[in-house]
A and B are shown apart, each in its own frame.
Chain A
Amino acid sequence: MKTLSVFAFLLAILSSATSLAARQSSYELMTPENQAMQDDPNLNPAQFWVMDGQSLWQERAGKRNISCASCHGESKTVMRGVAVQFPKMVQGKLQTLEGQINYCRVTKQHAPLLAYESKPLLALTVFVANQSKGMPIAVEETPVNKPSLQKGRQWFDTRMGQLNLSCAQCHEDRAGLKLGGSTIPQGHPTAYPIYRLEWQNLGSLQRRLRNCMSGVRAQQFEYDSPEMAQLELFLMWRARGMPLETPGVRP
């Protein structure tokens, strides 16, 4: 009896959707037309935001009248490898990529915060993240981020909303099954910011997570909140090793 339960336990672990071998990006679930739209920069609407981001990178801002390029350099590749490390602990605070960009704006450029989902913040985020395209997501568990990571995992496993569903119930236990005609993805944030066809706009991971929460009729986490950052951290850790696809196209 005991060996049977141990065997069953091992089987459950091996067959879990996010066992490192069986992970799948939601790119695989798209139609060939949408995949082509993502793959070809000439067809990908997000490319305009990347170009906007490149301009903003050079633009002087704030009371100190310096640009991102003033400190980080002009090159379009200087941020390579950066996006795949976020979210991460920076000076004791869990920072998302958007949060880090805003941190630089406020403390280094002495410029006002850029609002979440505003065109400039999206443009800068996608410009930076695009430079890590193809690189494996490099978020690992460290002693410093461990408490936040555990919090994030808790959010992932907690039932919420009127529909009383947790992220795990759909995206872990039922990934690959159908919900209303669509295949349930595993929910790895490999392509953010994405051009979501439903938004007809570029948007952040936090925007998408808020959509998930409205989907289960839950109170949405606020933009730039600690809960959001913790959940982002857990999701990126869960997707570690998968290649970054930014900027993605999703339905």
Chain B
Amino acid sequence: MSKTSRTSITMPAQAKKDSIIEIRAIAQHDMETGFRYTEAGKLVPRDIIRFFTCRYNGIEVFKAEFHPGTGANPLIIFTTIATESGTLQFEWQGDGAYEAVNQSQITVT
């Protein structure tokens, strides 16, 4: 798997202060489990995204750890409280020095 890939974030651009918003984060990644064999009988090594973090204006508000049982093109849907306007930064890290970053702005009124 290449060192980085496309990611997609879906979340509201605006929210009322202290309301709960839903965030959907998906990354393009095969999530090779390490349990598959090639036709020649060789084990295909594990190559997956391991960690996902969400930072809200620099403060970590959510983290997830993926294991080989996570499906390909991993999707995660979680919530956070819209405390203030600013930037939400999303980071994925995985095997083979994989790293992907995405961000989204939010205006909180």
Assess A43 versus B75: contact at CB under 8 Å? Given A48-B28, A200-B30. Answer: yes
Q: Does A42 contact B (CB under 8 A)?
A: yes
Instruction: Choose one: A42, A45, A51, A52; the contact of B24 (CB below 8 Å).
Output: A42
Number of interface residues of B (CB under 8 A): 12
Pair B26/A42 contact, Cβ less than 8 Å? yes
Interface residues of B in 1-23 (CB under 8 A from A): 5-6, 8, 10
What does the 1/0 interface line of A47-76 toward B look like (CB < 8 Å)?
110011000000000000000000000000
Chain A residues with Cβ below 8 Å from B24 are 42-43
Pair B10/A48 contact, Cβ less than 8 Å? no
B18 to chain A, nearest CB (A): 25
Distance of A114 Cα from B72 Cα, bound (Å): 25
Chain B residues with Cβ below 8 Å from A200 are 30, 71-72
Distance of A52 Cα from B30 Cα, bound (Å): 15
Q: Does B79 contact A (CB under 8 A)?
A: no
What does the 1/0 interface line of A11-24 toward B look like (CB < 8 Å)?
00000000000000
Distance of A45 Cα from B26 Cα, bound (Å): 8
Chain A residues with Cβ below 8 Å from B71 are 200
Pair A45/B72 contact, Cβ less than 8 Å? yes
Distance of A51 Cα from B28 Cα, bound (Å): 11
Instruction: Choose one: B5, B8, B30; the contact of A47 (CB below 8 Å).
Output: B8
Pair B72/A48 contact, Cβ less than 8 Å? no
Distance of A208 Cα from B96 Cα, bound (Å): 32
B81 to chain A, nearest CB (A): 21
Number of interface residues of A (CB under 8 A): 9
In the complex, which residue of chain A has the Cβ closest to the Cβ of B9?
A42
Pair B6/A45 contact, Cβ less than 8 Å? no
Pair B6/A43 contact, Cβ less than 8 Å? no
Chain A residues with Cβ below 8 Å from B26 are 42-43, 45
Chain B residues with Cβ below 8 Å from A47 are 8
What does the 1/0 interface line of A198-242 toward B look like (CB < 8 Å)?
001100000000000000000000000000000000000000000
Distance of A13 Cα from B96 Cα, bound (Å): 59
Distance of A47 Cα from B30 Cα, bound (Å): 14
What does the 1/0 interface line of A79-114 toward B look like (CB < 8 Å)?
000000000000000000000000000000000000
Distance of A47 Cα from B10 Cα, bound (Å): 13
Distance of A101 Cα from B71 Cα, bound (Å): 31
23 A-B interface contacts by CB (under 8 A): A42-B8, A42-B10, A42-B24, A42-B26, A43-B24, A43-B26, A43-B75, A45-B26, A45-B28, A45-B72, A45-B73, A47-B8, A48-B5, A48-B6, A48-B8, A48-B28, A48-B73, A51-B6, A52-B6, A200-B30, A200-B71, A200-B72, A201-B30
Binding site for B on A (CB under 8 A): 42-43, 45, 47-48, 51-52, 200-201
Given A45-B26, A45-B72, A52-B6, 6 more contacts at CB 8 Å? A43-B75, A45-B28, A48-B5, A48-B6, A51-B6, A200-B72
